[in-house]
A and B are shown apart, each in its own frame.
Chain A
Amino acid sequence: MSTAVDDDLWSAIGDPVRRTMIDLLLAGGPGTATSLSERLPVTRQAVSKHLAVLDRVGLVHSAPAGRERHYQVDQAQLARAVAQLSAVGTAWDARLRRIKRIAEAIERDRNNDQGE
């Protein structure tokens, strides 16, 4: 049932700037707030705030690098997020198969009743 999906994780990933940041980090390897801000239409301060949100939900990890921090994507956490969402679709497939089975059983019962 999908309320079990981690809401904080999804609001973290729901922001388009943060998704672009994840994409940049996946494609280009670890980055800093400065290196990311050079490739995004937002300030370094804004990038830092977004990185903090991603860090809080475990989508990125950081390590000190001189005066800055190097951030990289936690691919296991990202994979977990993707798995949760494909599970939403799979869950509906299962529910619809049960709806079909129940409705067809009711229909057969009614037809049998009428035939007797």
Chain B
Amino acid sequence: MEHGSIERDIHVDASPEVVFEVVSRPEHIREWWSDDARFEPVAGAPGELMWCDAETGETMTAALAVVEVDPPKRFSFRWCFTGADRSGPALLVTFDLAPAGAGTRIRMTETGFREMGWEIAALEEQYRDHESGWDHYIPALGAYVARPVLTA
């Protein structure tokens, strides 16, 4: 098991061409992820994802860089750069599309957690080994989980 990545598969009843547009075009990314997205879907192009906090009016911007644009098979980009101006270790998100029946299978992988020091599975395993501690602190977690650590 690769500890440094997240993998997800999902079947979509739409052609790979349609799915490719949805995962790779800023106007669609605004619908499924950020409040705004700006980039040219061209390999190497820099771009931004933006989120607005409705309560404070603050805007948060995340830099991204397009890595690969291969319609209708693969779209990938880097984001969460640790250095300034899109430098240093970053997360790599890849959408691999494959025809499946009349539709498309999307495989999404997000890698780079290890390089960034985020060893998800290792941490989770560690935690499972200490289930008493986990049970004990679930109530305490409530306050943290209630905080919008991640907005989808």
Whether A83 lies near B18 (C-beta < 8 A) is: no
List which A69-116 residues lie within 8 A (CB) of chain B: 75-76, 78-100, 102-104, 106-107, 110
Q: Which residues of B are found within 8 Å of A88, using beta-carbon distances?
A: 6, 110, 120, 150
A30 to B53, CA, bound (A): 41
Whether B141 lies near A95 (C-beta < 8 A) is: no
**How many of chain B's residues touch chain A, expressed as a range?**
35 or more
A72 to B: closest C-beta gap in Å: 11
A10 to B119, CA, bound (A): 9
What are 7 A-B contacts with C-beta separation under 8 Å? A3-B62, A14-B117, A75-B137, A80-B141, A100-B12, A100-B106, A103-B12
Give the interface centre of B32, B60, B62, B108 by most chain A CB atoms within 10 Å: B32
Contact with A along B74-117 (1 / 0, CB 8 A): 00000110100000000100000000000010101010010011
Contact with A along B1-29 (1 / 0, CB 8 A): 00000101011111100110111000010
B5 to A: closest C-beta gap in Å: 10
A12 to B117, CA, bound (A): 8
